[in-house]
Amino acid sequence: MYKLIVLPGDGIGPEVIVEAVKVLQAVEQKFDLRFEIEEHLAGGACIDVHGVPITDETVSCCKETGVVLLGAVGGPKWDDYPLEQRPEKALMRLRRELEVFTNLRPVTVYDRLRNYSPVKPELLKGVDILIVRELTGGLYFGEPKKIEKWNNEERAVDTMVYTTSEIERVSVAAFEAARKRKKKVMSVDKSNVLATSKLWRKVVIDVASHYPDIELQHMLVDNCAMQLILNPSGFDVILTENTFGDILSDEASVFAGSLGMLPSASLGIGKGMFEPVHGSAPDIMGKGKANPVGAIKSLAMMLRHSFGEDSAANSIENAVSDVINAGYVTADLTAEGLKLESTSEMGDRIVDQILTS
Ligand code: NAD
């Protein structure tokens, strides 16, 4: 029996999580596995009931179980709350407390959808990128972080800080991942300007010495932003720090045709948090338009990384690929030649494909 915590969250979060849970039930049936699911509130939904974005009790359950599947949090209702009380704080707190320092964001382009990305289809042939982003350090967490009075004006300070061990552990994750792929790591930094990037490059080179089978290259982040568009199929694993990874992974998400397609995994020692990369999409909430594929593929990543159930994970990913390449899509990808499905119809198709293949 495997145990997991499910945090549906806000907006379309609950809608896509329902589909992921449907898929999990299909996996139970097909692979004779058992999952115990405990559901908790997070984000705005939790603020409305408990006055905080996540309760201490939920955080303890997540830490104890070590496996969390999350929908999305946030929405206009809570936009004016002070920074500390906003729904997104639930994510920051969970990432910090679970110490999930490695974020994996795979970007796959399905052949059938190559025409639907704003990037030219011929550039997208064979694109299969894994972005490995450091998640608990750097600019987003460094102290001091403040806005203060300064002479006759205000001054804001953020701090970008990395230690050797923080860089080492995420680099190891990237090299290990590359071993199961095309054996190429592109480390992205800004070492011509930033001290943190100088240390980053030095530590990555040290770690690479333990992986002679992996080809390591370095690229400055501004150049990487450009090369990603010019030659996306030239990348395999991209390893980078928190802020650069945040930006580059959103850039790369465009290749997949819709934000709704993309999964993510945030991994620490014995802990994992799995969530689609999209937000709560309040503009389409409750309309049956949400694409559940990112959430369903996040579930596949959970099965692989937290439970070691590779066959079940592969079966989900193959089913998604078969359904999409057969031309079934949700409203975010609709176009001539494709067949429009609602959120739940898409989930049902993927379930059928798992059970019948
Ligand atoms: P968003 O990702 O929610 O939406 C951006 C656009 O993509 C919207 O047009 C939306 O309709 C579309 N979209 C997103 N997911 C989709 C899906 N699965 N299927 C179809 N279309 C989809 O980003 P936003 O609009 O900037 O933010 C909305 C709220 O979500 C904000 O409160 C923001 O803070 C929050 N947010 C949460 C997370 C998270 O929980 N991890 C991430 C990003 C944003």
* Separation between Cα atoms, residue 177 and residue 173, nearest integer Å: 6
Burial 126-153 (b: 16+ CB within 10 A, else e): ebebbbbbbbbbbbbbbeeeeeeeeeee
For residue 29 the two structure tokens come to: 């049936």
- The yes-or-no answer to whether 1-105+260-357 and 118-256 have a common fold is yes
Task: Tell me the domain boundaries of the chain.
Answer: 1-105+260-357, 118-256
Told to judge if 250 belongs to the known catalytic residues of this protein, a careful annotator would answer yes
pLDDT digits 0-9 by tens, 29-86: 999 999 999 999 999 999 999 999 999 999 999 999 999 999 999 999 999 998 888 9
* Rounded distance from Cα 279 to ligand 1 centre (Å): 3
The confidence band for 322, taking pLDDT boundaries of 50, 70 and 90, is very high
CATH superfamily of this structure's domain 1-105+260-357: Isopropylmalate Dehydrogenase (3.40.718.10)
pLDDT score recorded for residue 1: 93
Which is catalytic among the residues 77, 81, 140, 348? 140
Q: Are 169 and 178 in contact (CB under 8 A)?
A: no
* Rounded distance from Cα 343 to ligand 1 centre (Å): 15
For residue 209 the two structure tokens come to: 């010495």
Q: Is 65 exposed, middle or buried (0-12, 13-18, 19+ CB in 10 A)?
A: middle
Ligand 1 — pocket residues by CB below 6 A?
12, 16, 72-75, 88, 91, 258-260, 275, 278-284, 290-291, 294, 332
pLDDT score recorded for residue 121: 94
Which listed CATH number (3.40.1030.10, 3.30.470.30, 3.90.870.40, 3.40.718.10) goes with 118-256?
Answer: 3.40.718.10
Q: Taking residues 150-164, report their average pLDDT.
A: 97
pLDDT digits 0-9 by tens, 222-241: 999 999 999 999 999 999 99
pLDDT score recorded for residue 127: 96
* Rounded distance from Cα 31 to ligand 1 centre (Å): 33
pLDDT digits 0-9 by tens, 272-308: 999 999 999 999 999 999 999 999 999 999 999 999 9
Number of helices followed by number of strands (H, E) in the chain? 12, 14
For residue 130 the two structure tokens come to: 């894994």
Q: Are 12 and 64 in contact (CB under 8 A)?
A: no
H-run or E-run covering 5: strand 2-9
pLDDT digits 0-9 by tens, 15-26: 999 999 999 999
Q: List the Cα angle 7/8/14 in 5-degree steps.
A: 170
pLDDT score recorded for residue 83: 80
